[in-house]
Structures are given as C-alpha cells and as structure tokens.
Amino acid sequence: MPQNVAEWIEQSRADVFFETSSLDPQTGQPATQHLMAALQHGAHAITANKGPVVHAYEALNALARERDKKFLCESTVMDGVPIFSLFPFGLPAAELRGFSGVLNSTTNVVLTEVEKGLSFDDAVRRAQALGIAETDPANDLDGWDSAVKVVALTTVLMGIPVQLEQVQRTGIRELSEEKIRSARAAGCATSWCAARRGAAPGLIAWCSRNCCWRRSAGQSGRNKFSDSFRPGCVRVVAGGAQSGSGCDCLRIVGGFSSRVRPLN
C-alpha cells in the first residue's frame, strides 16, 4: 500500500494529477508537495488550490517545463470562468494594468443574508447550508481567500511577484449588521471587494470592506470581476459554469490527441 502521495503516483502511473486539497494560505502545503511529486513522476499537474499558485508558481512552472508537462490552475480563481486563459489565448495583445471585483462568494452571500435580516451567525449557517461556505469559513470571513486570489491574479496575469503579506487584508466579522442594512435601505449593496492597481512591484493590493455600489433591479452584484487593460476594458460576469479543472484537463488531453482515448 502506498504510504504517501509520491508513492501513490508512482504506483498508479497517472497521466494527470488533480490537486483539490484545502487551502493553507500561509504555506500552500501540502498541495505544493503533491504537485511537485506529480510532475517529478511524469504526470501533468492540475490544481484547484490557490496556495501553490501563491507560494510556488514559478517553481512549479519551471519543473513542468523541465519534465515536458503542464501545470494548470484555472479553477483557483472564479472556478469555471477562464480568467487565466482569457489573456494569453483571447487577448494576447492586451496588457493587464489592474483589476477589482468581488472574489469571494461566501462573504457576498453572508452580507446579502444580513441585508435580508438574518444575524451574522445565521447568515454564515445559511451559506453553509447552501453549500457555499465551508465547514470552517475562517479563510473567507477573515479575508484570506480574497487576499490569496489577489496574489494569484497578480502573479499569473500581471507577472508581478507579490507576497501575501503585501496585501492589505481585512475581514467582515467586524461589520455592523445595522450598517449593512442601512446601506441596503439607501439603495447600496455592501460587498467585499479585492483590487490591484498599477504594475509596479512595490504597489500594494487590498481586500477591503464597505465597498458599495448601487444595484440595478434584479442585480445581486455577485461574482463580478472587472479588468482594466490596454487597449480597452472588459467585464466578465461569472455564473454557474463548468469546472475550470475539467477545462484544464481537456487542454491537456487535446495535446495528446484530437479525441479522448479509452482508459484501457
């Protein structure tokens, strides 16, 4: 019996390895070790975990190139929306200069439920019942998930090495329920926004509270991401979509053959 991931990969002789373990924002482990082991043993590596992108993106890409394999991470931000594929494949002449948007679904659902009258704790339980919030929602509520996504987007799409500690991060636990409801009554929606401005490595990105905009009728403001780049501007609205990891796998399979071959 295999005693660790490296032994399992060696014995299974996998062609493609999917990494979907829980996020550790501080270290990116054990996901990074799993991906390194997969590439070392000759498997393509796909991750839905943001940690390895934040802490070891260049190292994983270098190893993938050395082993003539692919390291792909489409599901790490916005899941099925091809945000990482958008620029190199769809907008190759564009230069991303900044971004801002709602990058965390849990905080958005919690704030929406508080607007409707639930207490903060009940709103969290509602998000968990809907399958949006995790059993331990601390990474979402304390801003870690959004901060990690800011670093991932800056690293991959802007080519700027950013450390997690450079992101000014706050959570939503300290927000007043009364203030959230008052903003809604005034026609605004309190949303948790993440942003990055400018291309200089020293500039700091942020995940901030009390970022409000006026909603039009029937618009929830959920899962919006806007990009500013040369020569124009695009906004991608994310809804239910196919898995980004599945799309990554199809990209790899497409590299093998124009048709998916049977497993045998």
Query: Would you name the residues annotated as active-site residues?
Result: 149
CA–CA separation, 237 vs 4, rounded Å?
40
Query: Do the beta carbons of residue 192 and residue 104 sit within 8 Å?
Result: yes
| Angstrom distance (rounded) from CA 194 to CA 226 | 11
Question: What is the signed CA dihedral for 168, 169, 174, 180, rounded to 10 degrees?
Answer: 90
CA distance 46 to 226: 25
Beta bridge mates, 196: 99
**CA 178/CA 184 separation, integer angstroms:** 10
Could you list the beta-strand ranges (E) of the chain.
16-19, 44-47, 71-72, 95-101, 168-169, 188-197, 206-214, 224-230, 233-237
Q: Where does residue 227 rank: exposed (0-12), middle (13-18), buried (19+ CB within 10 A)? A: buried
Rounded-to-integer distance, Cα 166 and Cα 53, Å: 16
With H, G, I as helix, E, B as strand and everything else as coil, classify residue 2.
coil
